Chains A and B, each alone.
Chain A
Amino acid sequence: MSLSTDDVRHVARLARLALGDDEIVALQAQLSDILAYAEKVGEVATGDVPPTGHAYPLADVLRDDEPRPSLPPDAAVATAPQAEDGRFRVPRIVDEA
């Protein structure tokens, strides 16, 4: 797989990375190389082989609906780069979810 610089820019936007032009160019070559290597998985005939997410087969690990203590007051925002009135402060939001 060979990526264009536009592909790299698109992926960088999806990944929320403000990359410089030099980084875009470097990544174009590196990602193409790495993906070419990774694409070797396509050589394997996997037919109806199921995918494995976890090697050890576990299922239904469930937690009882019992409250546990939350963090102490103000601990949540103690790590925040910017907080106001116990809330995390962020610049203006352009996109709506």
Chain B
Amino acid sequence: MTALPEQASRYEAVIGLEVHVELNTRTKMFCGCATDFGGQPNSRTCPVCLGQPGSLPVVNRRAVESAIRLGLALGCDIAPVSQFHRKNYFYPDMPKNYQISQYDVPICLRGSLTITTAAGEHRVGITRVHMEEDTGKSLHVGTSGRIHGADYSLVDYNRAGIPLLEVVSEPDIRSAAQAQSYLSELRAVVLALGISDAKLEEGSMRCDANISLRPVGHTVFGTRAEVKNMNSIRSLGRAIDYEIARQTDLLIAGEPVVQETRHWNEDAGTTSTLRVKETTEDYRYFPDPDLIPITPAAAQVDALRAALPELPAAQRARLAQDHGLPREQAATLVAVGLAPLFERAVAAGAAPVDAANWLNNEVVGWANERGADPTGVPLAPGDLAELTACVADGTLSKKLAREVLDAVLAGEGSPRAVAAERGLVQISDTGALTAAVDAALREHADAAQRVRDGNDKAIGALVGAVMKATRGKANPALVNQLLRERLSGVDDGR
């Protein structure tokens, strides 16, 4: 990657994302098999999802509702008539050697998603959202463990037929940062709707990127490469940056970009050719004659629209406006899914900025350490309100409050109860601290003298001594105040 910046800046990246979202329905798209994760291979299969002769698909109502809800959340038009098509190609993980998908009449069309990056707000068009079925999984047996060089493969159809939504963006994305923001925002919308657990690492959300370059100012698209296998938002950014650099080098060197599918190698940090597209694929799409049209009534669409939850963008704006949160803080709360707990805590009397800080830092940290989902933390809104109040009124220092929070999350009781039980209440009583302050001044006379000589930083050693003597329970602000009073001679005990 040797392109000089001035050469590279002659090109602009044109990026479109195709995101697959695995729905969290109880059953598969076209049969009653459970969608539970794990289990013995091929134990969640039936004649339909195994493609046994004579079996027929029947559409899962909840999957259709999920598709409509996502479409509405993305501002799409919901097609009054949509249809399932067959996408025909042979592959052993596809039980029928065709995938039931949607083609020219998908259920949702023409939406958009607004994203925010350091460069500001940007609208990314959504071409379509359509329904389809997932494939099975192949296990490649051989020394490599990958498909290339495998001796043979073993196929498990437990995943075959699990409902997917494919969200196709317009080629409106211009940078890795925008792509990351788009994926992150789409994920937040999906989580807010509760239609998928949307885990990129586990494959319940998958993202392919179509990337091409063109000279700045041109409107014609360059030849694109499709990049697959990005398993996190971070790898999406890395892969796009790599691919832009690779294509830039080719163009500067006067070499063609080949239309192909490329594989992102996370460890190497590079993309490599997966397969070159021979002309265009010939999927022989045609309407699936086993299925009939989906025609959502306007009233049904209106009812689903009315029942949509607050979406992330609206939620961020409202949190900032109603509670005076800084944008960044509001965005974090929404992103980690703690906005509902935040609002209940505020309703219970918590100071908004304090509550948001506790949630975004300590509570998220606590969940991350345990590999848990922050939205599931065992914290009552009233307890968070009580904790912020304890800090505000000086009952607990920040440090003590962290210890109390851990105990509260461990189920030991309310913050005040824990503090009392453990004797963690902050000492904010002048009388109780006087002896310790005096002892510190005696034992660290040299430090005291340096402060008097004008070295203000030396007071740290004195504060530290008092905190140590009180086992951290002294109110640091009060200790500071008492020390300064003594040292400035207002009341030096003489």
A–B interface present (Cβ within 8 A): yes
> Are A84 and B154 in contact, CB atoms less than 8 angstroms apart?
yes
> Are B27 and A90 in contact, CB atoms less than 8 angstroms apart?
no
> Are A87 and B156 in contact, CB atoms less than 8 angstroms apart?
yes
Segment of A20-28, A35-43, A60-68 engaged in the interface with chain B: A60-68
Give the residue among A59, A66, A84, A92 with the most B Cβ atoms within 10 A. A92
Q: How many of A's residues come within 8 Å of B, CB to CB?
A: 35
> Are A63 and B32 in contact, CB atoms less than 8 angstroms apart?
yes
> Are B25 and A65 in contact, CB atoms less than 8 angstroms apart?
yes
Interface residues in B132-163 by Cβ distance below 8 A to A read 135, 138-140, 142, 147, 150-157
The answer, yes or no, to whether B293 is at the interface (CB within 8 Å) is yes
- Out of B81, B89, B91, B155, which one reaches A87, CB within 8 Å? B155
What residues on A are CB-neighbors of B27 within 8 Å?
Answer: 63, 65-68
Interface residues in B94-144 by Cβ distance below 8 A to A read 94, 97, 135, 138-140, 142
Task: Give A81 Cβ to nearest chain B Cβ, in Å.
Answer: 12
A62 and B40 CA atoms in complex are apart in Å by: 29
Task: Give A35 Cβ to nearest chain B Cβ, in Å.
Answer: 16
> Are B91 and A97 in contact, CB atoms less than 8 angstroms apart?
yes
> Are A60 and B26 in contact, CB atoms less than 8 angstroms apart?
no
- Out of A14, A59, A68, A92, which one reaches B153, CB within 8 Å? A92
Q: Would A97 and B292 be within 8 Å (CB), given that A87-B155, A88-B154 are in contact?
A: no
Task: Give A14 Cβ to nearest chain B Cβ, in Å.
Answer: 6
> Are A54 and B31 in contact, CB atoms less than 8 angstroms apart?
no
- Interface SS of B by simple majority: loop
> Are B150 and A92 in contact, CB atoms less than 8 angstroms apart?
yes
What residues on A are CB-neighbors of B64 within 8 Å?
Answer: 62
Q: Would A58 and B292 be within 8 Å (CB), given that A65-B25, A76-B42, A95-B275 are in contact?
A: yes
The answer, yes or no, to whether B380 is at the interface (CB within 8 Å) is no
Interface residues in B16-42 by Cβ distance below 8 A to A read 25-27, 31-34, 40-42
> Are B154 and A85 in contact, CB atoms less than 8 angstroms apart?
yes
Interface residues on B, range: 35 or more
The answer, yes or no, to whether B45 is at the interface (CB within 8 Å) is yes
What residues on A are CB-neighbors of B97 within 8 Å?
Answer: 16
Contact pattern, A 7-37, Cβ under 8 Å of B = 1, otherwise 0: 0000000101000000000000000000000
Task: Give A70 Cβ to nearest chain B Cβ, in Å.
Answer: 5
> Are A90 and B41 in contact, CB atoms less than 8 angstroms apart?
no
What residues on A are CB-neighbors of B150 within 8 Å?
Answer: 92-93
Segment of B241-249, B282-290, B360-368 engaged in the interface with chain A: B282-290
Task: Give A95 Cβ to nearest chain B Cβ, in Å.
Answer: 7
Q: Would A61 and B45 be within 8 Å (CB), given that A89-B152, A92-B151 are in contact?
A: no
What residues on A are CB-neighbors of B292 within 8 Å?
Answer: 53-54, 58-61
Q: Smallest CB-CB separation from B39: which chain A residue?
A: A70
Q: Would A63 and B61 be within 8 Å (CB), given that A86-B40, A95-B275, A96-B147 are in contact?
A: yes
Contact pattern, B 48-64, Cβ under 8 Å of A = 1, otherwise 0: 00101000001111111
What residues on B are CB-neighbors of A85 within 8 Å?
Answer: 41, 154
Give the residue among A64, A76, A92 with the most B Cβ atoms within 10 A. A76
A76 and B142 CA atoms in complex are apart in Å by: 24
> Are B61 and A67 in contact, CB atoms less than 8 angstroms apart?
no
What residues on A are CB-neighbors of B40 within 8 Å?
Answer: 73, 86
> Are B46 and A86 in contact, CB atoms less than 8 angstroms apart?
no
> Are A90 and B155 in contact, CB atoms less than 8 angstroms apart?
yes
A69 and B45 CA atoms in complex are apart in Å by: 9
The answer, yes or no, to whether B455 is at the interface (CB within 8 Å) is no
> Are A64 and B287 in contact, CB atoms less than 8 angstroms apart?
no
A59 and B292 CA atoms in complex are apart in Å by: 6
What residues on B are CB-neighbors of A62 within 8 Å?
Answer: 58-61, 64
Task: Give A15 Cβ to nearest chain B Cβ, in Å.
Answer: 9
A88 and B261 CA atoms in complex are apart in Å by: 27
> Are B294 and A97 in contact, CB atoms less than 8 angstroms apart?
no
> Are A71 and B46 in contact, CB atoms less than 8 angstroms apart?
yes
The answer, yes or no, to whether B90 is at the interface (CB within 8 Å) is yes
Q: Would A92 and B152 be within 8 Å (CB), given that A58-B292, A67-B33 are in contact?
A: yes
> Are B154 and A67 in contact, CB atoms less than 8 angstroms apart?
no
A19 and B289 CA atoms in complex are apart in Å by: 28
A87 and B142 CA atoms in complex are apart in Å by: 16
Q: Would A16 and B289 be within 8 Å (CB), given that A70-B46, A76-B50, A90-B152 are in contact?
A: no
The answer, yes or no, to whether B449 is at the interface (CB within 8 Å) is no
Q: Would A70 and B34 be within 8 Å (CB), given that A76-B45, A87-B42 are in contact?
A: yes
Q: Would A96 and B60 be within 8 Å (CB), given that A71-B45, A84-B154, A89-B152 are in contact?
A: no
Give the residue among A16, A63, A73, A77 with the most B Cβ atoms within 10 A. A63
A65 and B66 CA atoms in complex are apart in Å by: 12
The answer, yes or no, to whether B274 is at the interface (CB within 8 Å) is yes
> Are B275 and A70 in contact, CB atoms less than 8 angstroms apart?
no
Q: Would A90 and B275 be within 8 Å (CB), given that A62-B59, A67-B26, A71-B45 are in contact?
A: no
**6 tightest Cβ-Cβ pairs between the two chains A and B:** A68-B32, A87-B154, A65-B62, A62-B61, A76-B42, A88-B155
Known: A63-B32, A88-B92. 6 other contacts (CB 8 A): A59-B81, A59-B292, A70-B46, A76-B42, A90-B154, A97-B94
A-B contact pairs, 15 of them (CB 8 A): A14-B282, A54-B292, A63-B59, A64-B61, A65-B62, A67-B33, A67-B34, A68-B33, A76-B42, A87-B156, A90-B92, A92-B152, A92-B153, A93-B140, A96-B275
